[in-house]
Amino acid sequence: MSSGVLSGWRRWPSWAGYAASGLAAAYGVVLLVAAPAGYRSFIGLPDIGLPDLTWPAAGVLLAGSVVAAGTLRPWGRRVPSAVLSAGAWVVAVFALAGSCWVLLNLIELVLTGTVRDRHGNGAWVNFSERLCLAVVGALFVATALSYTRRTAGVCPRCGRSHPPETSGLRHPAPHAAPLRVRRVAYAGCCAFLPYLALHSLGVVGVSGIEPGGYRPPWAALVALLCGIALAVFLLSGLVRPWGMVFPRWTLWFAGRRVPRFLPLTPVWVIAPTLALYGTGSLILAATGVLRHNGGSLFGLGGAASLAFAGYGWALAIAAVSYQVRTRPSCAPLPGPGEPRLAVVGSP
Distances (CA, A) of 127 to 55, 104, 106, 193: 19, 10, 9, 32
Distances (CA, A) of 190 to 194, 280, 310, 318: 8, 20, 9, 15
Is the per-residue pLDDT at 25 higher than 80? yes
Is the per-residue pLDDT at 146 higher than 60? yes
Phi/psi of residue 53, nearest 5 degrees: -105, 10
Distances (CA, A) of 11 to 42, 138, 139: 34, 16, 14
Tell me whether residue 116 is exposed, middle or buried, using C-beta atoms within 10 angstroms of its C-beta: 0 to 12, 13 to 18, 19 or more: middle
pLDDT of residue 340: 45
Is the per-residue pLDDT at 124 higher than 90? no
pLDDT of residue 42: 63
pLDDT of residue 128: 87
Neighbouring-strand partners of residue 259: none
Phi/psi of residue 115, nearest 5 degrees: -130, 140
User: Does residue 16 contact residue 139 with C-beta atoms inside 8 Å?
Assistant: yes
Section 317-332 average pLDDT: 87
Q: What integer best gives the mean pLDDT of the chain?
A: 82
Domain spans of the chain, in order of start:
10-160, 179-327
* Axis-axis angle for helices 12-34, 54-70 (nearest 10): 150
Cα separation of 190 and 232, whole Å? Answer: 9
Angle of CA points 285, 40, 33, to nearest 5°? 150
What letter represents residue 44's amino acid?
G
pTM: 0.75
- The tens digit of pLDDT for each residue in 89-119 reads 999 998 888 887 788 888 788 778 888 876 6
- The tens digit of pLDDT for each residue in 263-314 reads 998 898 888 888 888 888 888 777 766 665 544 556 777 888 899 999 999 9
pLDDT band at 319 (very low <50, low <70, confident <90, very high): very high
